[in-house]
Amino acid sequence: MRVHKLTFAALAVAASLSLTACQNDDDAAGQSDRPAASGEASANGGSGSGDSQQGGGEESAGENTGGQEAAAGGGSDSGSGSGGGGKVGKCRTDELEFKAIDSTIDGDPNGTVAVELTNGGGRECSISGYAGVDLKTASGTLSAERSGEPVVPGTLEDGESVAFGIQYPINDSGGSGVRVTGLVVTPPDETKSVTLDWPGAATLPVTDGTGSPVKVGPIGSAGQGG
């Protein structure tokens, strides 16, 4: 009987240990399952938060881009608007009609030729400054010097005229002088020239370079050369 009692006692102890071990295993399994679920929830929450932030960032970037496009569009409209003004174009050689006349006044020490320019281009045009003037002579080309008078901007309506003056020394030396054969005029800001008959005195005095030069006044200065 003593042996049987010890055996039952041993079995009871073993059963108790086995039951305790099973309960510990179940508790451990339950605890390990709960952190795993919490981790998944945290990961999902973090991903959602990140997506939300990224989405917000993308929307913000989209709004900025739209603002920039709107600003760019406004700048473009403003630029095109400011550049749409009706600016008057320059008078071109082919649009002008030229006429040279003798305008010398008795008693003046120098002779004067006035060159008249008439706008025949069918549109308003602007003209100002100094025309290029060359006298064709038997001895070669003589370029006129600018008188130094101030330049006044001006415009010509279709059919309207303006003139400038050329002053030259009169040949009163009694000699044959230098014969003038033609007048070449180039309007301001143009490269195309026209050749006109010279209406002034037939000759210029022969000088050694110290005499009075041929001078041209600005547009609008007919008869008022330097």
Mean residue pLDDT across the chain:
73
Looking at residue 127, its pLDDT comes to 97
Residue at 177: amino acid letter: G
CA angle (98, 136, 169) in 5-degree steps: 90
Position with higher pLDDT, 83 vs 127: 127
pLDDT mean over 153-157:
95
pLDDT in tens, 18-47: 444 444 444 444 444 443 333 333 333 333
Return d(Cα 104, Cα 135) in angstroms, integer. Answer: 17
Find tokens 């030229």 and name the residue: 98
Return d(Cα 146, Cα 192) in angstroms, integer. Answer: 19
pLDDT in tens, 170-199: 998 878 899 999 999 999 999 999 999 999
Is residue 153 within 8 Å of 126, Cβ to Cβ? Answer: yes
Looking at residue 176, its pLDDT comes to 86
pTM for this prediction: 0.60
Q: Half-sphere exposure (CA, 13 Å, Cβ side) for 217?
A: 23
Return d(Cα 125, Cα 219) in angstroms, integer. Answer: 14
Looking at residue 209, its pLDDT comes to 62
pLDDT mean over 199-223:
85
Phi/psi for 161 (5° steps) reads -125, 160
Percent of the chain with pLDDT strictly greater than 70: 59
